[in-house]
Amino acid sequence: MPPVKIMYLNPVADNPEVDRLFADMARAYKLAGTEVHVTALPRADYPFSHIEYRTYEALVTGGIVRAARAAAREGFDAFTIGCFYDTALHDAREISGAMAVTAPCIASCEIAASLANRFAVIVVRSKCNVQMGANIREYGYGDRFSGFYEIGLGVDDLQRDHAETERRLKAAGRRAVDDGAEMIVLGCTMEIGFYKEMEAELGVPVIDSAIASLKRAEYAALLRHQCGWVPSRTGSCEAPTEAEIARFDAFGGSRPVFGSRIVVEAS
Amino acid sequence: MPPVKIMYLNPVADNPEVDRLFADMARAYKLAGTEVHVTALPRADYPFSHIEYRTYEALVTGGIVRAARAAAREGFDAFTIGCFYDTALHDAREISGAMAVTAPCIASCEIAASLANRFAVIVVRSKCNVQMGANIREYGYGDRFSGFYEIGLGVDDLQRDHAETERRLKAAGRRAVDDGAEMIVLGCTMEIGFYKEMEAELGVPVIDSAIASLKRAEYAALLRHQCGWVPSRTGSCEAPTEAEIARFDAFGGSRPVFGSRIVVEAS
Amino acid sequence: MPPVKIMYLNPVADNPEVDRLFADMARAYKLAGTEVHVTALPRADYPFSHIEYRTYEALVTGGIVRAARAAAREGFDAFTIGCFYDTALHDAREISGAMAVTAPCIASCEIAASLANRFAVIVVRSKCNVQMGANIREYGYGDRFSGFYEIGLGVDDLQRDHAETERRLKAAGRRAVDDGAEMIVLGCTMEIGFYKEMEAELGVPVIDSAIASLKRAEYAALLRHQCGWVPSRTGSCEAPTEAEIARFDAFGGSRPVFGSRIVVEAS
Amino acid sequence: MPPVKIMYLNPVADNPEVDRLFADMARAYKLAGTEVHVTALPRADYPFSHIEYRTYEALVTGGIVRAARAAAREGFDAFTIGCFYDTALHDAREISGAMAVTAPCIASCEIAASLANRFAVIVVRSKCNVQMGANIREYGYGDRFSGFYEIGLGVDDLQRDHAETERRLKAAGRRAVDDGAEMIVLGCTMEIGFYKEMEAELGVPVIDSAIASLKRAEYAALLRHQCGWVPSRTGSCEAPTEAEIARFDAFGGSRPVFGSRIVVEAS
Amino acid sequence: MPPVKIMYLNPVADNPEVDRLFADMARAYKLAGTEVHVTALPRADYPFSHIEYRTYEALVTGGIVRAARAAAREGFDAFTIGCFYDTALHDAREISGAMAVTAPCIASCEIAASLANRFAVIVVRSKCNVQMGANIREYGYGDRFSGFYEIGLGVDDLQRDHAETERRLKAAGRRAVDDGAEMIVLGCTMEIGFYKEMEAELGVPVIDSAIASLKRAEYAALLRHQCGWVPSRTGSCEAPTEAEIARFDAFGGSRPVFGSRIVVEAS
Amino acid sequence: MPPVKIMYLNPVADNPEVDRLFADMARAYKLAGTEVHVTALPRADYPFSHIEYRTYEALVTGGIVRAARAAAREGFDAFTIGCFYDTALHDAREISGAMAVTAPCIASCEIAASLANRFAVIVVRSKCNVQMGANIREYGYGDRFSGFYEIGLGVDDLQRDHAETERRLKAAGRRAVDDGAEMIVLGCTMEIGFYKEMEAELGVPVIDSAIASLKRAEYAALLRHQCGWVPSRTGSCEAPTEAEIARFDAFGGSRPVFGSRIVVEAS
């Protein structure tokens, strides 16, 4: 079997430190036969270090679908959008051709619902709750969701002081468990790197949503390779025709699609 | 009372014929003391004559929030996004400051639910059903919604052959009424100009969603002027700070926000 | 355009002081071209100063539909039922002919949902919660509703000691905001006259439901005048025939429909 | 054990023929130790032979709560409101003291859901569907409900030509079963007298909703006698105080509460 | 009328003390003309004194359907499964022929919803909440359910120290009422014997779920005797054919179905 | 990495032909490093060739949890229950220790929802619809589910006449697609072997639920190996203690757990 190819897109401006963090994660968690490209958006057009606000999400939405389109044309099997808002998930799915698209929230909910009956989500700030809650309900996990717990740190601060972040994550997790959560989901991909310590502390499974989305993309890629299962393209899944895309020059011309790319090769 | 100011944004490339259509509608349906600016997106960046696909919606989403931001800073009281997908409604609401934001689908559902218990929506193609249906449910009108009826014309064709469009709209409306719809909503703003003929034919109210969204925006503007009611800016409604917006240069620099603008003045 | 005509019915026994309170409100908040009739039920048949109990609601339900019927025949464009239970809303809508019918709870929910994602309702006593909660869910706002907060005053006491009422409303509003409400709705029309002070104190929009229902009625009236949109009369919206109404003498004979009426003229 | 006492109220004008029909039913279906009073409203105040319209329901709502109040004070154990709209059910429950209140739709849904997974309701006209559907969902049976089937006869015509009514009921039942209904509920108490013939024809259970409501009332009465279970009177179940009722003279003075009464004694 | 026959199955290993407890309850609460058989499963095959875990439930599920099948063939009119998990309710209903099947949770919810708008459930341990909550929602009572309150005693301990159990039940009931419950349901059949003391203490109705399920079974049995209403056997209610049952020897051969049986005769 | 170990349990009596069918499937679709044990229940205790009825499901439920318990103790990483009813899924999850448990319906819904917005399920007979529909809703996929389509063959007949089965599956699939399904799920694991032909015919993805459940189990096993994610054992996920299991001798003694086992080794 040739390697399965996955793109992990950070839907923010390229940032070497952050890119490397996710590339290291990919290297550690992918299967041997999987190739992962960790990418980010070009800073010139998408200057955001985080997309905590809908406003910023809206401003990168075009960049995400351009990336999804480009990845599909490069032959990727699966694509994940590295933000727990699952920004532009439905949009990217429309234009992804035979490539599957997933994202951290939906990937984490699936895993959590298979390992427990009630899971909590730890968010950076309660600002996120309404939008993420609507997503969780739309995905069908409303009855399994036990609540949001905030740590009061912005996304950009999560990797600044690891001890402080860990302390806050553990405290939020403890509150969640005390309220009846049987399991924890980390509701921001930048909360990466803490789940094992939290599991040791709390005694319940803790899902790192960045890893979850990578693994779900890999699962989708394997389903394509082995079973031939690819996205439907009928009904609401119909994509615009190539003729119309060309007529509109929908995806623009020469401006770069990706701001950075680290290739983690299959071994 | 000074005039209330409303912006009606066509979230597609500027097109003089289309712009005029909506300006004429605004002139005919606004209150005397209302000023309406009919705008569209700049063709260079947003070359779409329609946004029937999520892909195109995603590519104009940034343009819509830029327009909402600009309108708020110009002092508009209310803003409506002229597409029945209500594209970027929640995003635009975050960045709209003291300006209310509405859109055709939500505006039409409110009116329809106040005048009947079961309403149908006539769409251009069944491609729309899943996304629009999710919106209708999210807005809370799922129990009052009796189904989609498609006419099998693309958005760009609706104003080509008026007789044919009218024939198809009436036929779809008839099917809806025969199935139990007590009222009809026209599920595309380009289905403008037909509702009176349909009402005469079908004997039930028919909501033109472009007019509905204009009137809902005007209603919101009056609520601001008379009651002081403006969007909340706490919790999930919190907008990014001006400092951060400036730091990111989030809304870009010199590129134009609007591709066209027709001012319909208060009289 | 001739004036639009609205009836604001207090569904309790006529009371000059209360009637004047709502007439003053109408004068302050209506548009220039709007004529408002503030009415109440005749005390002889409907001796209630409040309808906090379903029992009392049931006993005035007949009076409300008689009033709606009479208003429609007088040519009113819109009618609102001035109690946050929205008592007899669906009943009055059936018999209202071409006149739209609204009420405070539904009118306030619409506005609140357009200005925030999570709103709380301040009630007189928790007795109200189950019935009002069922209404809010039935109207489709269950997911946007963040809870009831009671002030522990009966309806008849709200306008007795303004300072005390204001103190309690502000305290309840503070609890709601601390729990995550992004906006407040005043869940009793007799909580009139306090919303601006509350907004100043709480920093979030506060909807006065009496004003909201007046403005929603006016909006409906304008939609009728300008767009021709009136209630559907098919399916579940079918009204009894005039022949049958006459045969039953359904609306009784000579007993008065209204106990009082203050006309606030268009200017 | 002393007899349990049940009132079966026809919420329409007294009519000897109709009253007798329900008294005969009560005699045939009650337990030996049960006493049933079949009553109707006084024609002078409530001149309706049917309440197919919300308007008429609204006009008898006051009469129903007056009857419930009177029955509770006479010492009845349970009370049923003989119309499949379950008109004023929640209202009557508030003022019923220690007397339980039920009604045909809710009583039938309970039985149907215990004997099958999918039941259909046969209505007189599709006019009823929205209101009855909302009730069925509110009662919690939405997922078990397979649809309405109309026979196209008014309530007043159901007992005119028995052969025709039976023919239409069987035809509607057949359509329901062919669509997957596993059981039938007769959605009008005046569809009384046909269920056995329908069961023989259709091969599925058919619930006569008049009988169902009588039996449910009797069940409630027995639960009171044997277990002491009576309605809660706290929270939303709180009734107005006797002092306030007296102050308002809420239930009026001398006008009669019942238009007729047939006593079916315990044997 | 011949006696109606009900089986009350304790779905655990036979235990003389426990069996007697339920037989005494049946004697005290049944109608005179009702015969009740209190049974339990044979200890050899089903050695469980409680089924607090899904694992144990799974291991007795086969025993419950065998018992339901046997009871139906013995001519019982109704059958109840004496565990508040309502274990195997839907399974037993399929194979029960003309015998109705009920269970404590569903029987109690029906009664509670008819006597109050908000009821709480007192459980042994919060372990139960997810499964019981799913049942309550599936039965359609989600909107009327106000929460679980645990007493922190295992099922086997409930009848050990009556004073302690009563103390804990009252305390849990008090918390529920303080939180807004208008009524209490005892969420374990082994919480039998305490409801009257709780009612006296709390001032709200308290449903003993063992009694409720007995009475609901008796109600079902009476509906069969008097109205002929028995379970549907079409669609999803279709049972396997006798031919296939015989071919598989589905219900095994000689192993006993019941571990004990106390007959409480009609008087 | 050592091989991940999966058990695929056919929850029916062992049958060499059927066992081989699933072993061949496992060999064809597993990853190289995966070891799969295809097992079935012992015919002596579980004599069923199919479990189309709840009755039969109930009779094998004990066998499924015994198998799950045994597999967990043998060190399997994941376990799947090879019936589209997902029989005993929640029960098996409680007793599975560190082993994940999945099943065909839930595994297929996850995949389908990631590749399309509306999927249909093809069932053997409409008998299945209510139970499977309840599962699909409980799993959270109710809004994505477009309907059941039956082929009118029993489970035991699906592999008899392949041409006939294929013909019926294609016809049902065609009806589903014509009604708006964007994707098909085969709602019986014995519908194995046909999905590719159906995809070729229908032009939409078709999920073979047996394969889906195997792959989902493998995905879960990899998540355990690579991320350490195993089932929660707190709250509702708490298993009985080993001490109590031993005291009850809950899993019986010497009777065999498996009726057959084919080992498909890692390569």
Query: Which of C86, C229, C230, C233 to probe by mutation at the B interface, max B CB count within 10 Å?
Result: C229
Please list the ranges in chain F whose pLDDT falls under 70: none
Is the same domain home to E124 and E148?
yes
- Domains held by chain C: number: 2
Q: What is the pLDDT of residue D2?
A: 84
Tell me the shortest Cα–Cα distance from C166 to chain A, in angstroms.
29
Cβ contact F103:F185 at 8 Å = no
Q: With a cut of 90, say whether residue D252 has pLDDT above it.
A: no
Is the same domain home to A93 and A110?
no
Rounded Cα gap, residues B68 and B102, in angstroms: 11
Q: Is C180 on the interface with A (CB under 8 A)?
A: yes
- End position of a domain, from candidates B209, B224, B243: B209
CB contact under 8 A, A236 and B127: yes
Contacts of A11 in chain B (CB under 8 A): none
CB contact under 8 A, F58 and E47: no
Contacts of D118 in chain F (CB under 8 A): 130
Contacting chains of D (3 CB pairs or more, <8 Å) are: B, C, E, F
Angle, vertex CA D119, rays to CA D115 and CA D125, nearest 5: 140
Q: What is the pLDDT of residue E267?
A: 87
Tell me the shortest Cα–Cα distance from A146 to chain E, in angstroms.
11
Q: What is the pLDDT averaged over residues C131-145?
A: 98
F67-119, pLDDT tens digit by residue?
Answer: 999 999 999 999 999 999 999 999 999 999 999 999 999 999 999 999 999 99
Contacts of A177 in chain F (CB under 8 A): 234
Q: What is the pLDDT of residue C224?
A: 98
Rounded Cα gap, residues D200 and D184, in angstroms: 12
CB contact under 8 A, D250 and C47: yes
Q: In this prediction, what percent of chain C has a pLDDT beyond 90?
A: 97
Rounded Cα gap, residues E182 and E201, in angstroms: 14
Is the same domain home to B190 and B109?
yes
Is the same domain home to F194 and F149?
yes
ipTM of the prediction? 0.98
Contacts of D69 in chain C (CB under 8 A): 55
Query: Which of C130, C135, C136, C137 to probe by mutation at the E interface, max E CB count within 10 Å?
Result: C130
Is the same domain home to F236 and F200?
no
Tell me the shortest Cα–Cα distance from D212 to chain F, in angstroms.
25
Q: What is the pLDDT of residue D47?
A: 96
A65-69, B32-36, B159-163, D219-223: which range is least confident on average? Answer: B159-163
CB contact under 8 A, E143 and C126: no
**Cα separations in angstroms, C114 against A263, C137, C141, D16, D237:** 45, 16, 11, 55, 33
Tokens of E112: 């509670």
Q: Is E134 on the interface with A (CB under 8 A)?
A: yes
Contacts of D129 in chain B (CB under 8 A): 180
Q: What domain range includes position F204?
A: 105-209
Q: What is the mean pLDDT of chain B?
A: 97
CA nearest to E91, candidates F93, D117, D206 = D117
Q: What is the pLDDT of residue E105?
A: 98
Q: What is the pLDDT of residue D146?
A: 98
Is the same domain home to E205 and E153?
yes
Beta bridge partners of F49: none
Do E and A have ≥3 inter-chain CB pairs under 8 A?
A: yes
Contacts of A235 in chain F (CB under 8 A): 116-118, 180-182
Band (pLDDT 50/70/90 cuts) for residue D15 is: very high
A151-200, pLDDT tens digit by residue?
Answer: 999 999 999 999 999 999 999 999 999 999 999 999 999 999 999 999 99
Q: What is the pLDDT averaged over residues D203-226?
A: 98
Q: What is the pLDDT of residue E70?
A: 98
CA torsion angle E76 E82 E83 E87 (round to 10): -10
Q: What is the mean pLDDT of chain A?
A: 97
A215-259, pLDDT tens digit by residue?
Answer: 999 999 999 999 999 999 999 999 999 999 999 999 977 789 999
Radius of gyration of chain B (CA): 18
B209-255, pLDDT tens digit by residue?
Answer: 999 999 999 999 999 999 999 999 999 999 999 999 999 999 977 78
Is the same domain home to B189 and B73?
no
Is the same domain home to F120 and F195?
yes
Is the same domain home to C17 and C82?
yes
Is the same domain home to D111 and D42?
no
Q: With a cut of 80, say whether residue A1 has pLDDT above it.
A: no
Cβ-nearest to E131 among F52, F58, F236: F236
Tokens of D217: 């009332």
C54-63, D104-113, D152-161: which range is least confident on average? Answer: D152-161
C212 HSE (CA, 13 A, CB side): 31
Question: Residues 6 or more apart from F91 whose CB is under 8 A from it?
Answer: E54, E55, E57, E58, F61, F64, F65
Q: In this prediction, what percent of chain A has a pLDDT beyond 70?
A: 100
CB contact under 8 A, A250 and B64: no
Q: In this prediction, what percent of chain A has a pLDDT beyond 90?
A: 97
Q: What is the pLDDT of residue D254?
A: 79
Do D and A have ≥3 inter-chain CB pairs under 8 A?
A: no
**Cα separations in angstroms, D119 against D141, E138, E219:** 10, 16, 20
Classify residue D171 as exposed, middle or buried by CB count within 10 Å of its CB (0-12, 13-18, 19+): middle
Is the same domain home to F195 and F216?
no
Angle, vertex CA A75, rays to CA A72 and CA A78, nearest 5: 65
Instruction: Report which secondary-structure segment, H or E, holds F262.
Output: strand F260-264
Band (pLDDT 50/70/90 cuts) for residue A9 is: very high
CATH code, domain carrying A120: 3.40.50.12500
Q: Is E137 on the interface with F (CB under 8 A)?
A: no
Q: What is the pLDDT of residue B31?
A: 97
Chain A residue with minimal CA distance to B47? Answer: A248
Band (pLDDT 50/70/90 cuts) for residue B22 is: very high
Rounded Cα gap, residues C132 and C134, in angstroms: 5
Q: What is the pLDDT of residue C252?
A: 79
Q: With a cut of 90, say whether residue C253 has pLDDT above it.
A: no
**Cα separations in angstroms, F103 against B146, E247, F90, F144:** 35, 28, 10, 19
CB contact under 8 A, E137 and A143: yes
Q: Is E117 on the interface with C (CB under 8 A)?
A: yes
Rounded Cα gap, residues F116 and E15, in angstroms: 54
Chain A residue with minimal CA distance to B237? Answer: A127
End-to-end alpha carbon distance in chain D? 13
CB contact under 8 A, A215 and F227: yes
Band (pLDDT 50/70/90 cuts) for residue B183 is: very high
F194-217, pLDDT tens digit by residue?
Answer: 999 999 999 999 999 999 999 999
Is the same domain home to C18 and C77?
yes
- End position of a domain, from candidates C188, C209, C230: C209
Band (pLDDT 50/70/90 cuts) for residue B267 is: confident
Q: What is the pLDDT of residue E252?
A: 79
Band (pLDDT 50/70/90 cuts) for residue A2 is: confident
Q: Is E110 on the interface with D (CB under 8 A)?
A: yes
CA nearest to D89, candidates D25, D121, D135, D22 = D135
Q: What is the pLDDT of residue E92?
A: 98
